[in-house]
Amino acid sequence: MRQVPPSGRPTLDEVAAHAGVSRSVASRVLNNAPHVSRAKREAVERAVRDLGYVPNPKARALATRQAGAAALVISQHDPSVLADPFFGQVIAGVSSVLEEAELHLMLCLAASDRSRKRVGDLLRSRGVDGVMMMALHGDDPLAHMATETALPVVFGGRPGGADPRWYVDIDNVAGARHATEHLLAGGRRNIVTICGPLDTEVGRARHQGYREALLLAGRIPQAFEVGDFNEPSGAAAMTRLLAQRPDIDGVFAANDNMAAGALRALREAGRSVPHDVAVVGFDDLPVARITDPALTTVHQPIRDLGREMARMVVGVIEGGDPSPLLLPSHLVVRSSA
């Protein structure tokens, strides 16, 4: 006997729920798109029969253009970036959601003119159904490509100088402010920071949070040096800061990799952590638990960042208009501060 859905006329969402699949999977089955398992295809076809579903012709015409894939574009040219635990966790989060939606993940590193051209060709050819972009710098050409394409584009972190329609970000300002406030609460008076690149939104926002904490406490922001979110740049920045300000007793590093570099530079300079200098990082990567001493840091839900980016792009592909999302962070206190 035909099961009558609660809404009267059955919808694609009801077909998907009846079949136990996502809306995007149901849509691809109805439009004979590839990349759907036999079991899920049969479940959707059975739900269509049970509910008496009749597809909307206009929606069907649009859905036949689906490529069955989404791209994650990272504005980097060095493949070693994929060994960074941060990007590894983001990719794991993205992949888990796209797998459930039965969309393939296409990974693109794009920081050279040649690689950006390939991304542009991909967008123009509609070789994917949606795009996620991360790690954009300054006036990045990728941001302009995003505004020109008709494809859904979701940003991981807001690009500097832009106001994107869809993005997922961490509350970087609040996280950096809490890190600096922790140093102040510990009695540190000469607190410096190692920033990320200030032509990135994440670098700018974390520097802003550091400054806000000091100004709210009636203190003048101290010296800062810029690193590149890796361990060697953190060590080099810490060495420069020690030369400028020998009286440093607190350091906020804008990510854990740079904080690990700062710990190494302080040890080589004969400074004891946290007795002489307290150090706080940001991210709560695995390295934070194995540094000596273990690193106090700001935890951000990195894998959730990837998951929410993917959920957002799938939602837009399916015709939704999700709101931008800001994920919370919190301080994890260990031995370095």
**Distance (Å, whole) CA 66 – CA 47:** 22
DSSP 58-97: HHHHHHTT--SEEEEEES---GGGGGSHHHHHHHHHHHHH
- For residue 30, with 0-12 CB atoms within 10 Å meaning exposed, 13-18 middle and 19 or more buried, which class applies? buried
**Distance (Å, whole) CA 254 – CA 257:** 9
SS (H, E, C) 90-140: HHHHHHHHHHHCCCEEEEEECCCHHHHHHHHHHHHHCCCCEEEEECCCCCC
Asked if 191 and 177 count as a contact pair (C-beta separation under 8 A), the reply is no
What is the pLDDT, as a whole number, of residue 265?
98
Rounded average pLDDT over 128-136: 88
**96 Cβ partners below 8 Å, 6+ apart?**
306, 307, 310
The yes-or-no verdict on residue 7 having pLDDT over 90 is: no
Percent of the chain with pLDDT over 70: 92
Asked if 74 and 81 count as a contact pair (C-beta separation under 8 A), the reply is yes
Assess if CATH 1.10.260.40 describes domain 12-63. Answer: yes
Q: pLDDT tens for residues 169-209?
A: 999 999 999 999 999 999 999 999 999 999 888 999 999 99
**Distance (Å, whole) CA 196 – CA 204:** 8
Between 51 and 77, the more confident residue is 51
In this structure, CATH architecture of domain 172-299: 3-Layer(aba) Sandwich (3.40)
The yes-or-no verdict on residue 29 having pLDDT over 80 is: yes
Its pTM surpasses 0.75:
yes
**Distance (Å, whole) CA 26 – CA 37:** 11
Q: pLDDT tens for residues 75-90?
A: 877 777 777 889 999 9
Phi, psi of 211 (to 5 degrees): -65, -45
Angle at 304 between CA 259 and CA 111, to 5 degrees: 65
Min mean pLDDT across 30-39, 109-118, 195-204, 326-335 is at: 30-39
What is the pLDDT, as a whole number, of residue 35?
66
Burial string for 110-120 (b: 16+ CB within 10 Å, else e) reads: bbeeebbeebb
In words, the CATH class of domain 69-169+302-326 is: alpha beta
Q: Which residue spans of the chain are classified as CATH 1.10.260.40?
A: 12-63
Q: Which residue spans of the chain are classified as CATH 3.40.50.2300?
A: 69-169+302-326, 172-299
Min mean pLDDT across 117-126, 232-241, 255-264 is at: 117-126
